[in-house]
């Protein structure tokens, strides 16, 4: 309701405040629970906190941006009202096969040969490529060729990110904590996904027109959501620089 109520409206701020209060209450409950969903003691270890946060942010972008791109493809092209591409769902599915295959193939290739390289460097390289890719998508998305080329660049990085993120978690937790770490990573992806999606719609809403109660989005909004994805990826990349050397699953974790 941010667009219709206004982002500074008391109702909007009230719901945002209620969400923050619920999150704080959740953390207090988890802190006192014998079997917490989110083990705060584990998150106090800097390597774990960095790997989970960076992994969650990176995978959020990889999973969220393609879904938001569907809006660009399916919304109509109406001069001065809507800057979508006006594709049918079938046409969008056919065109998007290209970058989905790139993501799938990259992930398979990287996971097959990952043990030969430093996983942290591969991860950071994937984030860098994904950030560049979504920056390019923000500039060039006006037709099939532009969207295919730029999205394929972004999804080379996304394939790396999706395949390496679990390795980051396994490399900073003990063997007994691997299930917990994976569960926490998935929970953070859901949390970050909700935040990024809400932010993306706020960006779209800032560059929109409303006709008979229906919002149509302008090109500046579409560019903005892709640049938002690139910015979140850069944040994940900066955090990843501080992740210490990952251990092999067979090694004992440093400091227990």
Q: For position 231, which CATH number holds?
A: 1.20.1250.20
Bridge partners of 82, per DSSP, are: 78
Domain span including residue 24:
1-36
Q: In this structure, is residue 246 part of a structural domain?
A: no
Question: Does pLDDT of 252 surpass 70?
Answer: no
Answer yes or no: do 29 and 97 share one domain.
Answer: no
Answer yes or no: do 2 and 58 share one domain.
Answer: no
Q: In this structure, is residue 250 part of a structural domain?
A: no
Name which residue leads in pLDDT, 212 or 75. Answer: 75
Q: In this structure, is residue 7 part of a structural domain?
A: yes
Grade residue 256 by pLDDT with cuts at 50, 70 and 90. Answer: very low
Question: Does pLDDT of 33 surpass 50?
Answer: yes
Answer yes or no: do 16 and 96 share one domain.
Answer: no
CA distance 148 to 140: 10
Rounded to two decimals, the pTM is 0.87
Question: Does pLDDT of 250 surpass 70?
Answer: no
Share of the chain above pLDDT 70, in %: 96
Q: In this structure, is residue 256 part of a structural domain?
A: no
Answer yes or no: do 14 and 86 share one domain.
Answer: no
Answer yes or no: do 128 and 176 share one domain.
Answer: yes
Q: In this structure, is residue 105 part of a structural domain?
A: yes
226 close to 44: Cβ distance less than 8 angstroms: no
Answer yes or no: do 114 and 209 share one domain.
Answer: yes
Mean pLDDT, range 3-21, rounded to an integer? 87
- Check residue 251 and give its pLDDT: 52
Establish how many alpha carbons lie within 13 A of residue 256's alpha carbon, considering only the half-sphere containing its beta carbon: 1
Answer yes or no: do 45 and 31 share one domain.
Answer: no
Question: Does pLDDT of 86 surpass 50?
Answer: yes
The CA–CA distances, whole Å, from 160 to 55, 61, 120, 165, 180 equal 11, 12, 11, 8, 23
Q: Tens of pLDDT along 36-54?
A: 877 778 888 889 999 999 9
- Check residue 206 and give its pLDDT: 87
Answer yes or no: do 206 and 88 share one domain.
Answer: yes
Grade residue 132 by pLDDT with cuts at 50, 70 and 90. Answer: very high
Q: In this structure, is residue 251 part of a structural domain?
A: no
Answer yes or no: do 3 and 64 share one domain.
Answer: no
What count of other Cβ atoms lies within 10 Å of the Cβ of residue 60? 25
**CB contact set of 52 (below 8 Å; sequence gap of 6+):** 43, 169, 181, 184, 185, 188
Give the total number of structural domains in the chain: 2
CA distance 131 to 232: 8
- Check residue 21 and give its pLDDT: 96
Q: In this structure, is residue 118 part of a structural domain?
A: yes
Answer yes or no: do 152 and 124 share one domain.
Answer: yes
Q: Tens of pLDDT along 88-119?
A: 999 999 999 999 999 999 999 998 888 888 88
Q: In this structure, is residue 248 part of a structural domain?
A: no
Answer yes or no: do 152 and 228 share one domain.
Answer: yes
Q: Tens of pLDDT along 204-242?
A: 988 988 888 788 999 999 999 999 999 999 999 999 999
Question: Does pLDDT of 24 surpass 50?
Answer: yes
CA distance 167 to 51: 10
Answer yes or no: do 13 and 139 share one domain.
Answer: no
């Amino acid at each position: 309701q941010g667009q219709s109520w206004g982002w500074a409206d008391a109702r909007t701020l009230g719901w945002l405040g209620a969400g923050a209060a619920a999150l704080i209450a959740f953390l207090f409950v988890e802190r006192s629970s014998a079997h917490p969903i989110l083990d705060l003691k584990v998150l106090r270890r800097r390597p774990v906190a960095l790997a989970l946060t960076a992994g969650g942010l990176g995978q959020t972008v990889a999973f969220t941006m393609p879904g938001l791109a569907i809006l660009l493809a399916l919304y109509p092209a109406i001069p001065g009202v809507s800057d979508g591409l006006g594709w049918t769902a079938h046409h969008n599915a056919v065109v998007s096969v290209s970058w989905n295959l790139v993501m799938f193939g990259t992930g398979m290739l990287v996971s097959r040969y990952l043990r030969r390289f430093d996983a942290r460097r591969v991860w950071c390289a994937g984030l860098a490529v994904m950030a560049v890719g979504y920056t390019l998508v923000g500039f060039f998305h006006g037709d099939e060729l532009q969207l295919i080329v730029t999205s394929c660049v972004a999804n080379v990085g996304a394939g790396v990110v999706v395949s390496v993120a679990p390795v980051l978690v396994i490399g900073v937790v003990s063997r007994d904590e691997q299930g917990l770490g994976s569960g926490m990573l998935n929970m953070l992806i859901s949390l970050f996904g909700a935040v990024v999606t809400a932010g993306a719609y706020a960006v779209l809403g800032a560059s929109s027109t409303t006709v008979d109660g229906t919002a149509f989005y302008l090109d500046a909004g579409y560019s903005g959501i892709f640049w938002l994805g690139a910015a979140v990826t850069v944040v994940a990349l900066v955090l990843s620089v501080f992740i210490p050397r990952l251990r092999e699953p067979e090694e004992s974790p440093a400091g227990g």
